[in-house]
Amino acid sequence: MNSPALQALFGGTFDPIHYGHLRPVEALARQIGLQQVTLLPNNVPPHKPQPEASAAQRVAMIEQAIADRPLFNIDLRELQRQTPSYTVETLRGLRAERGPQQPVGFIIGQDSLLTLHHWHQWQELLELCHLLVCKRPGYPAEMANEEMQNWLDRHVCRDTARFHQQPHGLIYLADTPMINISATEIRQRYLQKQSCSDLLPDAVIDYISHAGLYRG
Ligand code: ATP
């Protein structure tokens, strides 16, 4: 029997979704051979800065962005829960649905890799998924401390085939384009009435303008 194809998830606040999300992931998908990437908009814990756009607006912007990008689909499970989103819990739910043999990849940017040791129950992540890491400008390649660097070195794998054969446990450091865009910068540019035309898809720009988002 063929092993099931690697399924990839990409979590984020997406306030709003932008080319810094889409383009590195498209490159990653070509490198490692992903047919589908599932975007997982998250619920933000009450002690963190809340998104400016509502959950429904963040979803609507994602839908606009992916309408002509068949690589992507969207999963609303984290928004449908009333509790903050912990990736480890979402992955446990997916594992329970898809079984122990399904290869699952969770996509993050380099900034998230560097702070992974602050994530809830982060040590269990690799028991549930592979981590697929996109480059992000402004963030060093080295981990925060020796212990984390050793952990990374133990799990890094360059052989893309293994990510499709093994259900979890590996880290792929993808050679993705450096896209210097953040949602924070986009929100600030809107506030200052500056153009965002090259930072996110036109359909998302149209949605933001009709909904009057990010005007302060
Ligand atoms: P904010 O500026 O509001 O913190 P963000 O632009 O960093 O938002 P998120 O929705 O918080 O976007 O990020 C979701 C995921 O996308 C994270 O894993 C993050 O590392 C990754 N990511 C965001 N922007 C980039 C980028 N420009 N290049 C690579 N990865 C990115």
Pocket test for ligand 1, best of 72, 87, 136, 185 (most atoms within 8 A of CB): 136
The residue contributing the CA closest to ligand 1 atom 14 is: 12
Tell me, using a 6 A CB cutoff, whether residue 187 lines ligand 1: no
Q: Please tell me the distance between residue 15's alpha carbon and the centre of ligand 1 in angstroms.
A: 10
CATH number (domain holding residue 36): 3.40.50.620
Confidence of residue 48 (pLDDT cuts 50, 70, 90): confident
Return the pLDDT at 216.
83
The Cα 149–Cα 160 span in angstroms is 21
Which of 146, 136, 215 is closest to 182 using CA atoms? Answer: 136
CA of 12 to the centre of ligand 1 (A): 7
The answer to whether residue 32 is domain-embedded is: yes
Residue pair 23/135 in contact by the 8 Å Cβ criterion: no
Can you give the pLDDT at residue 159?
Answer: 98
Sorted by sequence, the CB contacts under 8 Å of residue 146 that are 6+ apart come out as none
What confidence score (pLDDT) does residue 4 get? 64
CA 56 to chain centre: 18
C-alpha of residue 142 to centroid of ligand 1, in Å: 18
134 lines ligand 1 (CB under 6 A): yes
Q: Is residue 22 part of a domain?
A: yes
Instruction: Give the residue-averaged pLDDT of 111-125.
Output: 96
User: Is residue 185, in this structure, part of any structural domain at all?
Assistant: no
Axis crossing angle, helix 202-211 with helix 55-66, rounded to the nearest 10: 150
Per-residue pLDDT, averaged over 38-52, amounts to 88
The number of residues making up the chain comes to 216
- Distance of CA 159 from the midpoint of ligand 1 (Å): 26
Q: How confident is residue 119, by pLDDT bands cut at 50, 70 and 90?
A: very high
Q: What is the pLDDT of residues 143-155, one digit of tens each?
A: 999 999 999 999 9
What value of ipTM does the predicted structure carry? Answer: 0.97
Q: For residue 13, is it within any domain? A: yes
Is 121 inside any structural domain?
yes
Residue 1 has a pLDDT of 44
Measured in whole angstroms, how far is the alpha carbon of residue 55 from the centre of its chain?
16
Can you tell me the mean pLDDT for 7-29?
A: 98
* pTM of structure: 0.96
Identify the residue whose C-alpha is closest to ligand 1 atom 22.
109
Query: Is the CB of 42 within 6 Å of ligand 1?
Result: no
Query: Which ligand 1 atom sits nearest the alpha carbon of residue 19?
Result: 27
Question: How many domains are contained in the chain?
Answer: 1
Indicate whether 215 belongs to any domain. no
Q: Are 95 and 130 in contact (CB under 8 A)?
A: no
* Residue at 199 is within a domain: no
Strands (E), the chain: 7-12, 37-41, 72-74, 104-109, 130-134, 171-173
pLDDT, residue 51, reads 95
Q: What is the rounded average pLDDT for all residues in the chain? A: 95
Q: Among 2-11, 35-44, 77-86, 89-98, whose mean pLDDT is lowest?
A: 2-11
Within a domain: residue 130? yes
CA of 111 to the centre of ligand 1 (A): 8
Task: Copy the structure tokens of residue 208.
Answer: 């933001």
Question: Per-residue pLDDT tens for 167-216?
Answer: 999 999 999 999 999 999 999 999 999 999 999 999 999 999 999 999 98
Q: What is the pLDDT of residue 209?
A: 97
Whether residue 10 contacts residue 36, with contact meaning beta carbons closer than 8 Å, is answered with no
- Cα separation, 14 vs 135, whole angstroms: 18
The boundaries of the domain holding residue 77 are 7-180
Instruction: Convert the pLDDT of each residue in 65-87 to its tens digit.
Output: 999 999 999 999 999 988 888 99
Q: Identify the top-confidence range among 43-57, 84-98, 167-181.
A: 167-181
Q: Which atom of ligand 1 is nearest to the CA of 176?
A: 29
The answer to whether residue 3 scores a pLDDT higher than 70 is: no
Please check the confidence at residue 101 and state whether its pLDDT lies above 70.
Answer: yes
